[in-house]
């Protein structure tokens, strides 16, 4: 099965996770796009959604979903998003699409995180995928030096500005054997807005697209 078909299958499976009339959080990326398309086809009615990016907002509005300001919502029933890597404890690397900060905020507001991805994203230890770190532009070189001191090789994502007006350093060469400790350590560097380790906001449910169909893990 080709990767796009797997994304469509997990996108359709994710629609089944949504309680009728719920307010949900929606992530960003090509797998999430498949989910939004499937949601539109399903005719399922939501009370609204909080979006993690301008791109997702446009796509949700195009299918008639009311996109709510996060500040007007107390909590979300669930959050649906993809991942760049996911480990056996459902800790993830996210941010390949550059939306990590808003994704982490919306995930934190949600009672359950449903991760949708294909089987290639499953890893034993996080770190083969370069870790995205969103930085305040004036702190970029300072943060890069701190990341090098921790053993990483940060590369500026050229020509890219986040929805928050910041830059992304993609950090190669890290072995993230203790995701929670790494997430906290990187958060402590002044100038880091968000790092792409989702250990504090690990997934609760994984819908994995495999050649045998969608497998659900909790």
Annotated binding site for substrate: 28-31, 81-84, 94-97, 121
Binding mask 93-112 for ligand 5RP (x = CB under 6 A): -xxxxxxx--x---------
Q: Interface with ligand 5RP includes 209 (CB under 6 A)?
A: no
CA distance 193 to 134: 5
Q: How far is the CB of 20 from ligand 5RP (least distance, A)?
A: 25
**Measured on CA atoms in the order 186, 55, 76, 78, is the torsion positive or negative?**
negative
Binding part of the chain for ligand 5RP, among 65-73, 88-96, 105-113, 153-161 by CB under 6 A, reads 88-96
Angle at 113 between CA 81 and CA 84, to 5 degrees: 40
Nearer to ligand 5RP, 31 or 146 (CB): 31
- Strand order of the β-sheet with 197-198 is 85-86, 92-93, 197-198
Binding residues with ligand 5RP: total (CB under 6 A)? 17
List the one residue from 28, 51, 146, 162 that touches ligand 5RP (CB under 6 A).
28
Binding part of the chain for ligand 5RP, among 82-90, 138-146, 172-180, 201-209 by CB under 6 A, reads 82-90
List the one residue from 11, 25, 31, 49 that touches ligand 5RP (CB under 6 A).
31
Q: Interface with ligand 5RP includes 25 (CB under 6 A)?
A: no
Nearer to ligand 5RP, 98 or 130 (CB): 98
2-30 as b/e, with b when 16 or more CB fall inside 10 Å? Answer: eeeebbbbbbbbbbebbeeebbbbbbbbe
Contact 3, 201 (CB under 8 A): no
CA distance 9 to 31: 10
Active-site residues, by number, are 103
CA distance 23 to 116: 18
Q: Which residues bind ligand 5RP (CB under 6 A)?
A: 27-31, 81-84, 94-100, 103
């Amino acid at each position: 099965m080709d990767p796009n078909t797997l994304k469509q299958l997990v996108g359709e499976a994710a629609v089944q996770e949504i309680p009728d009339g719920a307010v949900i959080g929606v992530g960003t990326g090509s797998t999430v796009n498949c989910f939004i398309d499937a949601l539109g086809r399903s005719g399922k009615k939501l009370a609204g959604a909080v979006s993690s990016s301008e791109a997702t907002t446009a796509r949700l509005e195009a299918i008639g979903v009311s996109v709510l300001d996060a500040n007007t919502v107390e909590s979300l029933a669930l959050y649906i998003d993809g991942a760049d890597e996911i480990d056996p404890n459902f800790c993830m690397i996210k941010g390949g699409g550059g939306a990590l900060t808003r994704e982490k905020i919306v995930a934190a507001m949600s009672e359950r995180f449903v991760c949708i991805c294909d089987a290639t994203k499953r890893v034993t230890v996080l770190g083969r995928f370069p870790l995205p770190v969103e930085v305040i532009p004036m702190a970029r070189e300072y943060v890069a030096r701190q990341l090098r001191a921790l053993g990483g090789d940060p590369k500026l994502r050229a020509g890219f500005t986040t929805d928050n007006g910041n830059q992304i350093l993609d950090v190669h060469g890290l072995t993230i054997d203790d995701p929670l400790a790494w997430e906290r350590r990187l958060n402590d560097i002044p100038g880091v807005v968000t790092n792409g380790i989702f250990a504090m906001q690990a997934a609760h449910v994984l819908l994995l697209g495999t050649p045998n169909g969608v497998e659900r893990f909790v």
